[in-house]
Structure 1
Amino acid sequence: MVEELAIAKSELILGGQKSGKSRRAELLARSWLGQSPAHRAVLIATAQPWDEEMRERIARHQADRAVRVPGMRTVEEPVQLAQALASHSQPQTLVVVDCLTLWLTNLLMPAAEFKEKEAVAHDPHAQTAMFLIAIENAAGPVVLVGNEIGLGVIPLGRETRAFVDALGGLNQDVARACAQVTLMAAGLPLTLKEGRP
């Protein structure tokens, strides 16, 4: 039997690497699917297979998800997140986006084949603005997963500092847009902002 969890209209789940944030999103999706036979769940995955290790990681996540959340469909969209959310959001469908950190990476450091021909599509400010509107206009519940990487020391490199700053800004913008915000640590959820289902 699946534990029935309260599902907010929109929830941002933040945490460090291996903090349990993706697992929490999966638990919410399983709970949603178990609440009604009419319910559906879609995962929008933003990861790109840059190298062999990343390909293996993606394959492992896909296999694990298929076991943990049977029935959740996966859609891959590394850049056009607002459009993907708008096209998959329906009243009976919970949409999980995993993860915002890789999405921002894709926007700030696009693959070589996209750098010139899709410069406008990779504008982080424009994409973020469209994504925030898509969250607000979502017809069904949305669960967003992202990393909280700004809790440590100030990074030494300029590019790394710029990325930490950009991700911190994105997390703040998305947190304001969401009804609920949860911070994961050691697999335990800490509610930072309480929403209503």
Structure 2
Amino acid sequence: MLLAASEAQGQPLWVVFAVAAVPAVAAVISAIVAARYAKSSKANEIEAQRLRDLESRISDRKYETYKPMIALFGDVLNKEKRAQVMGQQDLVNGLHEFATWASIYASDDALRAYRNMVQASFNDAPGPIVLRLYCDFVLAARRDIGHSETTTTVEEVLALRVKDLYETDGVRWIVREPFEEVCRRVNWSPPWL
């Protein structure tokens, strides 16, 4: 029938086959492209899942790294616990343990905040400076663990630890003023500035 139709129109048979083959070739090429795209898409999906798993493991490790240090500083700031729980060597051991893992897992901001806090303690920083640097460290740790869009402020962190923060002669100025002004006010120079 195809042969009769081509002869009736005066078309050679090879032209008829060529015209009929174009859609078939297009279909085969489309199938090959779709298969390659599907394979690439699946590979990208697997890689994305691998990255999510890795981020989750790192986040878990960061949490485990920060948890004892935040608890240790919480105990240091709590007078009753400080007297009961720890001695000087316990504090030093905790600081060294955290520094070991923080240098690996902590973000740049968290590592700097910790460095500032430690250097302040090495340089006899007054209480207001220590409180401010503690709050800066807690906020950096929050961002590092996964609260990257946190709107929590230094004041809110300090309010969890200091009962007279909002009294007229309280210590709110520690978190309200720029750090350099707090240092000037207590006549202390940070060694890292």
User: With structure 2 as the length reference, what TM-score do the two structures score?
Assistant: 0.24
The structure in which a higher percent of residues are helix is 2
User: With structure 1 as the length reference, what TM-score do the two structures score?
Assistant: 0.23
Task: Name which structure has the greater RCO, CA cutoff 8 Å, separation 6+.
Answer: 1
The structure in which a higher percent of residues are strand is 1
